[in-house]
Structure 1
Amino acid sequence: MNVELLDLKSFVTVADLGSFVRAAELLNLSQPALSRRIRRLEETLGARLFERTTRHVALTAVGRDFLPKARRLVEEFESSVLAIRDLGRRTSGLVTVAAVPSVAFRFLPKTVARFSEAYPRIRIRILDIGANEGLEAVARGEADFGINYIGAADAAFDFTALLEDPFVLACRHDHRLAARQRVRWDELDGERLIVIGQTSSNRRLIDNALGQRGMRLDWTYEVMHLSGMLGLVEAGLGIAVLPSVAAPPAAQSIIHTVDIVAPRVSRTIGIVQRHDPPVSPVAGRLLAMLLEDWQAPRSTG
């Protein structure tokens, strides 16, 4: 026997209101759709539930007998849904995420806001630290999971790739290269180049990729943080190489970004987890929500 919940709710609503017209309005259904649901329920039960005239709707003997049973089924289902929602709101705990800074505040806020609305009693700690430190935090169990661009080749971790993040050139809007769609690495020679420090995994990734081509960065300024690079670019002191997700949105900045090719250098950003033990249930909820949001259409600015 296949009885849908909305069929039962339709029956109860018509019985309570004594009108197909008002029941359809309350249920946000068209009258033909409501009639089809009642007819399908009657066919499933093998009996008529209503006596219909042009002015009146009344329950049959079978309908009067079935009404309390249908009402109880609908109420029990709705009570169960409310109980589950309340359980989610009463669930407490702590989730710690180790995320590289360039990613943490570009993609996490939307998910954190949605998660906090669903689970207001669960606290979230975000460790916005470098790639190596973040991987170590996951390995030591200090973080439930990480968002990182290293760890994919480490057998100690599960790595779920999320997006490919190319390195781009950041220029002030009045710089001669700002109007270009793409530049080659060798075209940066002679420019006042701003780079991230050699202790950064981003820097090592770039140096390794260029070294394979017999190339190297000829820089003028070296900083420790990506925010410092952007500050120097805005001040007109030079141009910078940085991950595309770290670039400010074009509509909100005097900084323009340009693709760098020959070679194109990129990093793969993904979720890093330990094999064992698995993430806690509350961390698993945040992780699932993060994957949903990341896979949805988005603008990277």
Structure 2
Amino acid sequence: MARINFDLQELQAFVAVAERSSFRAAAEDLSLSQPALSRRIEKLESILGARLLDRSTRHVALTNVGRMFLEHSRAALDELEGAVLGVSDLAARRSGLVTVSCVPSAAYYFLPSVLREFSARYPRIRVKVIDEGANTVLNAVISGRADFGISFIGTQETEVDFKAIFREHFVLAVRNDHPLAARRSVEWEELAGERFMTVDKDSGNRLLIDAALAKSGKRAMSAFEVSHVLTLLGLVEAGLGVAAVPKLALPLTTHPTLVGVPLLKPRVSRTLGLIARHGRPLAPAAAALYDMLRHAGRAAHRSPDPAPGAATPGTAPAARPASRLK
């Protein structure tokens, strides 16, 4: 029997390219450069002595051999993943606790859906959530108080690794009986006549909005100023005015009262990511939750922008790097 002398990385590279039909998309999924990904595919084909992919500058397709090998590759990876999860599960049961720091706008709707799945898979693991401002989230990770965090800052911090999971626009949160609720979009300058509400100047979200509006010269005067995005949503529900919030702060499904309307000119966005201490591997339980959140974020990133009246996560242009904020 011939000895198998390729490793898991080559197999994962091939499956990623086959499933995405794109070297660029597969390289992004695997956090590799395209040349590195190509080398892995070439090594695998050389070892097998057969071409698995037909590729040109614009097209990638499986060969007959590649289609057959893809089925076996997927089966092998699925079996290996099951074995690894089994080991991780045992290790996770011994660990007992995972601590996650998370910005409130992500903690309310995005995080619970993942925690539900995590708890079903690891029923004996307790999860502690530190739901605070972005600066507190970052400091909790750096100090070791949290295993990892979910935030929109950290890209410039040498002490942490920031793994972007998706980008989102800010939307205008309004009641569904508000005249703007039926609009496909709203421009910032149209808010001059509205009772606009906002988070205070210590908030990272506020600084992102202020920076974007400063460049455009368009300002909206605030009637109410609060500390947290979720408080804003409560005021909107009460009919006290409208507010600009990250799309993720709104429910993932249709809400009986709240509607998110795209805000344009300028389009304000932020990049949400997972942050972990640089050079410190996560414990098995924390790593399992980290991976589940990463996959959930990718699913949200691939979701289309909602029609007016819906409030689901969507894609957005990359936000500018943010410094350490509250």
Q: Does the TM-score normalized on the shorter chain lie above 0.5?
A: yes
Q: Where has structure 1 moved over 4 Å in runs of 4 or more?
A: 80-86, 297-300
Report SS of the residue matched to 2:116: helix
Out of 274, 293, 296, the residue aligned to residue 296 of structure 2 is 293
Following TM superposition, by how much is the alpha carbon of 1:84 offset from its aligned partner in structure 2, in angstroms? 4.9
2:232 and 2:88 mapped to 1: Cα distance?
45
For the 8 Å contact 2:98–2:125, the answer to whether it is kept is yes
- Cα distance change of structure 1 residues 93 and 215 upon mapping to structure 2, 3 Å threshold: same
1:262 aligns with 2:246: no
The runs of 5 or more residues in structure 2 that have no matched partner are 3-82, 304-310, 313-326
1:103 and 1:156 mapped to 2: Cα distance?
22
| Cα distance per residue 1:249-289 (max 9 Å; x no partner) | 56332222111111100110000111132222321122122
1:240 and 1:127 mapped to 2: Cα distance?
25
Letter in 1 for 2:172: L
Report SS of the residue matched to 1:252: coil
The sequence identity of aligned pairs, in percent, is 48
Greater alpha carbon shift after TM alignment, 113-122 vs 281-290: 113-122
State the TM-score, normalized to the length of structure 2: 0.62
Q: CA RMSD in A?
A: 2.5
Following TM superposition, by how much is the alpha carbon of 1:290 offset from its aligned partner in structure 2, in angstroms? 2.2
Equivalent residue runs for 1:47-126 within 5 Å = 84=87, 87=90, 90-126=93-129
1:121 and 1:175 mapped to 2: Cα distance?
45
2:186 and 2:85 mapped to 1: Cα distance?
57
For the 8 Å contact 2:170–2:268, the answer to whether it is kept is yes
1:235 and 1:229 mapped to 2: Cα distance?
10
Following TM superposition, by how much is the alpha carbon of 1:220 offset from its aligned partner in structure 2, in angstroms? 1.0
Look up the match of 1:147: 150
Following TM superposition, by how much is the alpha carbon of 1:81 offset from its aligned partner in structure 2, in angstroms? 10
Look up the match of 1:219: 222
The number of residues matched between the two structures is 224
Look up the match of 1:246: 249
Q: Which structure is larger by alpha-carbon Rg, 1 or 2?
A: 1
1:200 and 1:211 mapped to 2: Cα distance?
16
Look up the match of 2:134: 131
For the 8 Å contact 1:92–1:121, the answer to whether it is kept is no
For the 8 Å contact 1:88–1:119, the answer to whether it is kept is no
Greater alpha carbon shift after TM alignment, 152-161 vs 201-210: 152-161
| Cα distance per residue 1:181-209 (max 9 Å; x no partner) | 11111111121101111111100110011
Letter in 1 for 2:263: I
Following TM superposition, by how much is the alpha carbon of 1:89 offset from its aligned partner in structure 2, in angstroms? 7.3
1:232 aligns with 2:235: yes
For the 8 Å contact 1:181–1:259, the answer to whether it is kept is yes
Report SS of the residue matched to 1:215: coil
Look up the match of 2:72: none
Greater alpha carbon shift after TM alignment, 252-261 vs 143-152: 252-261
